[in-house]
Structure 1
Amino acid sequence: MNQAAIDEDEALRLDRQLCFKLYAASRAVIRAYKPMLDRLQLTYPQYLAMLVLWEWQQTPPSQPTVKALGERLMLDSGTLTPLLKRLEQLGLVLRQRSRDDEREVHLLLTAEGRALREQVGPLRDRLLCTQGIDQEELAELHRRLSGLLDRFTG
């Protein structure tokens, strides 16, 4: 076997694939979050939606719509609709059709949805502490992943 074939074989090994490392790391982080999210009665995608809605509470967008949430989370409406329906059933979110354009559905946090935010900080901090994550290392990883994501979506 020549060197080019060996290099190609090595390049195609699973452990050499960045996409696999990102996928496996993502799954591991989500698994680590699961006990916290179980206490909050949320799935990980629901948690992400709540993070955006809490952001919007602090800095409201011009249109707090399902479409805007989908764009922010990079999720399609087929994924987002059942997720929001469940958050509404949990009493955390209200969906309201726009008076001006019936196709638009606006999102509002309920009092329970706003109150849930207070429970997240201590649980998240405990999660990070138990994993022994260095904050500077985490910030650098976040910066690099943001750059990578920007390149693929930019």
Structure 2
Amino acid sequence: MTTEVHVSDSLALDDQLCFALYAASRAVTGVYRPLLDELGLTYPQYLVLLVLWGRGSSPVKDLAAALHLDYGTLTPLLKRLESAGFVRRERRKGDERTVDIVLTADGKALRDRARRLPPAISQAMGLTTAEVDTLRALLRKVSTNIATP
């Protein structure tokens, strides 16, 4: 079943969905920045930690897939997190080719300090819970539709 899509052919900046997404992304990331500075993290490092807090230790390959990042982008993030003492790399017993990223005690403790971020971001957005759920669902749909040929 195909759905008919009507898209304006306007080239006005304010009519561009891509610009609305870009501006919203920059605005939201800007709200995160000072909160993450207090934790000593960048936004991409925070995303890595979110995955680890949710899953526990994880192979680098799985982190890359979860975050839609290539190894060349992810590796420096992991090195900085390791230097900060939040994670460590461990070769998997039985498969030395697999490197697991494991939270340290400091990395686990940081989770408690980070719990204040989602409410602060939600408040800054000024959206209801239903609006946030709808927006998240629509953005996931966009990502899935674009990623699926």
- Report the TM-score, using the length of structure 1 for normalisation: 0.83
Taking the aligned partners of 1:109 and 1:49, their CA distance within structure 2 comes to: 11
Deviation digits for residues 48-96 of structure 1 (CA, Å, limit 9, x no counterpart): 0000001113xx7xxx211110000000000000000000011110111
- Report the TM-score, using the length of structure 2 for normalisation: 0.86
More helix by share: 1
Which residue does 1:69 correspond to in 2?
63
Give the aligned CA root-mean-square deviation in angstroms: 1.7
Shift of 1:35: 1.0
**Is 1:88 aligned to 2:87, yes or no?**
no
Which residue does 2:3 correspond to in 1?
none
The percent identity for this pair of structures is 48
Secondary structure of the corresponding residue to residue 104 of structure 1? strand
Which residue does 2:38 correspond to in 1?
39
Structure 2 letter corresponding to 1:84: L
Larger-gyration structure (1/2): 1
How many residue pairs get matched? 141
Deviates more, 1:101-110 or 1:43-52: 101-110
**Is 1:144 aligned to 2:138, yes or no?**
yes
Secondary structure of the corresponding residue to residue 90 of structure 2? strand
Shift of 1:130: 4.1
Secondary structure of the corresponding residue to residue 103 of structure 1? strand
More strand by share: 2
Structure 2, unaligned runs of 5 or more? 1-7
Structure 2 letter corresponding to 1:33: Y
User: After the TM superposition, which residues 4-153 of structure 1 pair with which residues of structure 2 at under 5 Å, given as runs?
Assistant: 8=9, 10=10, 12-57=11-56, 64-153=58-147
Taking the aligned partners of 1:126 and 1:75, their CA distance within structure 2 comes to: 26
Taking the aligned partners of 1:96 and 1:151, their CA distance within structure 2 comes to: 36
**Greater than 6 Å deviation, 4+ residue runs:** none
CA contact (8 A) 2:53 2:108 kept: yes
Structure 1, unaligned runs of 5 or more? 1-6
Shift of 1:147: 1.3
CA contact (8 A) 1:36 1:124 kept: no
Secondary structure of the corresponding residue to residue 116 of structure 2? helix
CA contact (8 A) 1:36 1:123 kept: yes
